[in-house]
Amino acid sequence: MEGIVVEVLGVPNILASDRMVDKLTIHFLRPRHGGGEVQRVLFPSDSPGQAFVIFEEPEVAAHVSRLTHMLEVDQQQFCLKVRVVDRPEVDMPVKATLDVRMFPNDREVRRLLDIHGFKDVRRPHAVDMTEHKTH
């Protein structure tokens, strides 16, 4: 993934996701918020109140993470917590679907996934997996 990723916490879930993506994009584009060119906003995520903003420049991401952010939505103020993601390949949510028919023992596969922190959402011949995060 190109760009520098920041995690944003405290995002309210009071708008449709596409409208919230627009709000976050505009917020983090504005110079008064320390912003700059935004490549992409990922919202919603598997964790309530969490979004990811991908900036083109590392300096912008670093500056944004040092500031206090208040997001105004429908005349309400929401405090956002922003941090630069150290390792986006690890810190960003991951989803996958595994067809367990190729394994001789699907119970063992499900047990291993559980041990390694993956949520098992059962479907007849597949496991939808979402990595559990503990920060």
Cα 2 from Cα 61, distance rounded (Å): 13
**Count of CA atoms in the C-beta half-sphere (13 A) of 53:** 31
State the pairing for strand pair 95-99/69-73.
Answer: unpaired
Give the domains, in start order, of the chain with CATH numbers: 4-91 (3.30.70.330), 95-131 (no CATH)
The pLDDT, as a whole number, for residue 131 is 52
In the chain, which ranges are E strands? 4-9, 38-42, 50-55, 69-73, 76-84, 95-99, 118-123, 126-131
Give, for all 135 residues of the chain, the pLDDT tens digit: 578 999 999 999 999 999 999 999 999 999 999 999 999 999 988 789 999 999 999 999 999 999 999 999 999 999 999 999 876 654 556 677 778 788 888 888 888 888 877 766 666 555 555 554 444
CA-based nearest residue to 100, from 112, 87, 88, 92? 112
Cα 111 from Cα 22, distance rounded (Å): 40
- Using a cut of 0.85, tell me whether the model's pTM lies above it: no
